[in-house]
């Protein structure tokens, strides 16, 4: 059965009809074409699907689209302003916080949540805040450096 759904995605109002079982990540990718949010494990382990709902980072593979009805959702596509990358995105580029890039959208969205809670995060706070995000390339060292630099650029 289709349910009427309305939410703000990256500042724009979106209206749609979805099945109740539609996951938020599938709604973003398949209905809205916002494929920057990735599906890695689909079991709430890897964090490739992290987006923000009302400013809080969540795993979009473990949220129903209907649970975000009426909410304000931000995805990786909502960060840059035109051609100018968000400071956190720029920091990931500058500090080589990625290799293959598959985990990067989720890493950046989780990094913003770390900065929300800790504007000047310690390495321990960053590593704790990234516990729900897996990278299988970098070994995390350069990601931690990128988050530190991104946080500094955002202050």
Point out which residues bind other proteins (CB under 8 A): 1, 3, 19-21, 42-44, 47, 50, 53, 56-59, 62-64, 66-67, 69, 110, 113-114, 128-129, 131-132
Q: Long-range contact list for 52-59, CB < 8 A, 24+ apart?
A: 52/109, 52/112, 52/113, 53/24, 55/116, 56/113, 57/109, 57/110, 57/112, 57/113, 59/132
Nearer to other proteins among residue 21 and residue 155 (C-beta): 21
Instruction: Compute CA 101 distance to the chain's CA centroid, rounded to the nearest angstrom.
Output: 13
Q: Residue 77 has which token pair?
A: 């596509």
Nearer to other proteins among residue 19 and residue 96 (C-beta): 19
Q: How far is the CB of 42 from other proteins (least distance, A)?
A: 7
Q: How far is the CB of 71 from other proteins (least distance, A)?
A: 10
Q: Which of 31, 53, 39 is nearest to 113 (CA)?
A: 53
Nearer to other proteins among residue 26 and residue 145 (C-beta): 26
Q: How far is the CB of 91 from other proteins (least distance, A)?
A: 19
Nearer to other proteins among residue 34 and residue 130 (C-beta): 130
Q: How far is the CB of 5 from other proteins (least distance, A)?
A: 10
Task: Report the alpha-carbon distance of residue 87 to residue 109 in Å, rounded.
Answer: 12
């Amino acid at each position: 059965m289709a349910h009427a759904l309305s939410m703000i995605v990256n500042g724009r109002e979106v209206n749609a009809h979805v099945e109740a079982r539609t996951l938020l990540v599938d709604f973003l990718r398949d209905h809205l074409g916002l494929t920057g949010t990735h599906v890695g494990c689909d079991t709430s382990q890897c964090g490739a699907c992290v987006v923000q709902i009302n400013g809080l980072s969540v795993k979009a593979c473990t949220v129903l689209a209907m649970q975000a009805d009426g909410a304000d959702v931000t995805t990786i596509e909502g960060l840059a302003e035109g051609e100018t990358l968000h400071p956190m995105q720029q920091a990931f580029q500058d500090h080589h916080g990625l290799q293959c890039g598959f985990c990067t959208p989720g890493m950046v969205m989780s990094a913003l949540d770390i900065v929300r809670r800790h504007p000047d995060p310690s390495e321990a706070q960053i590593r704790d805040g990234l516990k729900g995000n897996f990278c299988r390339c970098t070994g995390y060292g350069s990601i931690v450096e990128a988050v530190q630099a991104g946080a500094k650029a955002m202050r």
